[in-house]
């Protein structure tokens, strides 16, 4: 995030492990869990996922919902 100049509140981490979600918490960013990888949906939910998908269907909508309060790309407010 620092390398590209993006603030944590402008970022959503997508991960399939509880470690991914812990990394998102440590980085102070939201995390969406995807349950088709290493850890199941229940584990990801318990680890603090703000959104959860067990298939890739609907993932763009979950990301959009979590980023909806952000300024448009290219906006001066970053």
Burial label, 4 (beta-carbon count in 10 A; 0-12, 13-18, 19+)? exposed
Give yes or no for residue 28 having a pLDDT over 90: yes
For the segment 44-61, what is each residue's pLDDT rounded down to a tens digit?
Answer: 999 988 888 877 888 888
pLDDT band for position 40 (50/70/90)? confident
Domains, the chain, ordered by start? 8-67 (3.40.50.1000)
Q: What is the pLDDT of residue 19?
A: 95
More confident residue, 77 or 58: 58
Q: What is the pLDDT of residue 18?
A: 94
How far apart CA 20 and CA 45 sit, in angstroms, is 12
Contact 8, 29 (CB under 8 A): yes
For the segment 15-24, what is each residue's pLDDT rounded down to a tens digit?
Answer: 999 999 999 9
């Amino acid at each position: 995030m620092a390398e590209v100049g993006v603030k944590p509140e402008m970022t959503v981490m997508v991960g399939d492990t509880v470690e991914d979600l812990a990394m998102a918490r440590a980085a102070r960013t939201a995390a969406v869990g995807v349950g088709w990888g290493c850890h199941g949906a229940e584990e990801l939910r318990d680890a603090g996922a703000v959104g959860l998908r067990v298939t890739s269907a609907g993932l763009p909508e979950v990301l959009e919902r979590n980023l909806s309060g952000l300024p448009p790309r290219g906006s001066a407010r970053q």
